Amino acid sequence: MHQSLRIVSMIGITFIPLLAASQSTTGVRSRDDFAGSVSISNKGASQALKINYKTWFIREGKSLDLGGGGSLVVEVASGAVTAVIDGQKHPKQFGEFFVIPAGHKLQIVTTNRSAILHTLELGST
């Protein structure tokens, strides 16, 4: 029994600092799920479109600045946030989608709980 506890303790002592080091010091992490270009055909004319799909993990009490580029589709996948769009506050919660037109600024603010967002940015190539 004591041998098992010693092994578990050694594993914890070894891996916990590694996990802590992998955490972002800003409280915001992102994962690139897809980044690339696609070609869309509309009435015989082909148009290239740049797509960037990300997942964002935002800890409570932190903020994230987005926008200013192409059009942005945002899904609140977990938690609740305040979306500050061009200076105006809009509360958003789990399951909501919203769109930020190209060139507009977005700030995401969390308060008392963490949030997960999915963003899809669409722009011309």
Query: Domain limits of the chain?
Result: 26-124
Q: Which CATH superfamily is domain 26-124 in?
A: Jelly Rolls (2.60.120.10)
pLDDT of residue 111: 84
What pLDDT score was predicted for residue 115? 96
State residue 43's pLDDT score: 87
Residue 23, judged by CB atoms within 10 A of its CB (0-12, 13-18, 19+), counts as exposed
pTM for the structure as a whole: 0.75
Per-residue pLDDT of the chain (125 residues; tens, 9 = 90+): 555 555 545 444 444 444 443 445 689 999 999 999 988 888 888 888 899 999 999 999 999 998 878 999 999 999 999 999 999 999 999 999 999 999 899 999 998 899 999 999 998 76
CB neighbour list of residue 6: distance below 8 Å, 6 or more residues apart: none
